Structure formats: structure tokens, C-alpha cells
């Protein structure tokens, strides 16, 4: 399954917002600048996250984005779903009922390819739903303990 780069951008932005904390909102342009990304496209991803309740937006000159929930209450699936949508990745169109090899009557039972694809997608969704932003945050802090301080410093230098 291929996801848009907006998922990566959204996840990194949420992680940075977790380190910045809830005391201040961060403008989308500043989040984009941190990674050298297009500000308009970053804002689009952040707006999708806001519509899904992952972040909230504060308007005005001191406005920007903050996490809407604690990092332990935001799953990776929340972010993926906000950016990519919640539609199923695989859509069975019953092609087994078409063409010269198709049976005369409707095929018996469920399409086995559809079932296999649904099981795989469910496992993928469960895995992303089991990992929180807090889990990723803790891993980064363990592997690169200087990162939170570096992020906070950079965003404080607005």
C-alpha cells in the first residue's frame, strides 16, 4: 500500500507539536520550514488533521496548530486516516464473474482474493492503531535524546 507523502509530513508535524507542547500554537508555515517543505501543502495536511480532531487550529497573528489530544491518545492510524481517508484500500469488483472463464452461475462463496486482501488490510490498520504518537516519541527520545530540545529550541526562535 502506498501512502502520500502527506502522511509522513503529518506524523512528523504531530511529533514536533508534542515536543513544543500545548503552551503555544505553531504556524503551518513554520512547521513546513522546519523540513523545507511547501507551506501550502503542509497547511493542507494540517487542516485535514484538524478536521479529524488530531490537532486544532488557532486563528490570528499568534495562531497556528497544537495537538488536540495527548500523544498517548493519538494513534498512527488516526493520522493516516485523517490524511488518506478511511476508505478501504482494496475494492473487489468481482472480475471472477466476467470473461470467458466465468462460471454460468454466480460464484459460490466469497471471493478468496477479497478476503485475503481484507485480512491484510485489517492487520495493517490494527498495527497502526496499536501504536501511538507517544510510542514513537519515546522511541525517538531513547535513540536521539537531543531531538526534543533541538526541536523546542528551533520553534522557540520564531
Structural domains in the chain plus CATH codes:
5-88+133-156 (1.10.10.10)
pTM (2 d.p.):
0.88
| Sequential DSSP letters for 96-151 | GGSSTT--SSPPSS--HHHHHHHHHHHHHHHHHHH-BHHHHHHHHHHH-TTHHHHH
Asked whether the predicted pLDDT for residue 96 surpasses 90, the reply is: no
Asked whether the predicted pLDDT for residue 139 surpasses 90, the reply is: yes
pLDDT of 157: 85
Give the residue-averaged pLDDT of 41-52. Answer: 97
pLDDT of 28: 95
Grid cell at residue 77: 492510524
Asked whether the predicted pLDDT for residue 102 surpasses 80, the reply is: no
Amino acid at each position: 500500500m502506498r501512502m502520500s507523502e502527506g502522511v509522513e509530513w503529518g506524523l512528523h508535524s504531530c511529533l514536533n507539536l508534542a515536543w513544543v507542547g500545548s503552551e503555544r500554537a505553531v504556524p503551518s508555515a513554520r512547521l513546513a520550514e522546519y523540513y523545507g517543505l511547501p507551506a501550502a501543502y503542509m497547511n493542507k495536511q494540517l487542516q485535514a488533521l484538524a478536521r479529524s480532531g488530531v490537532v486544532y487550529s488557532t486563528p490570528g497573528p499568534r495562531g497556528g496548530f497544537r495537538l488536540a489530544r495527548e500523544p498517548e491518545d493519538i494513534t498512527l492510524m488516526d493520522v493516516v486516516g485523517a490524511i488518506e481517508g478511511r476508505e478501504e484500500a482494496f475494492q473487489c469488483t468481482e472480475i471472477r464473474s466476467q470473461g470467458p472463464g466465468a462460471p454460468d452461475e454466480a460464484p459460490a462463496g466469497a471471493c478468496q482474493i477479497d478476503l485475503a486482501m481484507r485480512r491484510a488490510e485489517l492487520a495493517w490498520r490494527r498495527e497502526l492503531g496499536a501504536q501511538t504518537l507517544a510510542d514513537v516519541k519515546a522511541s525517538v527520545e531513547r535513540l536521539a535524546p537531543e531531538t526534543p530540545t533541538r526541536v523546542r529550541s528551533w520553534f522557540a526562535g520564531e
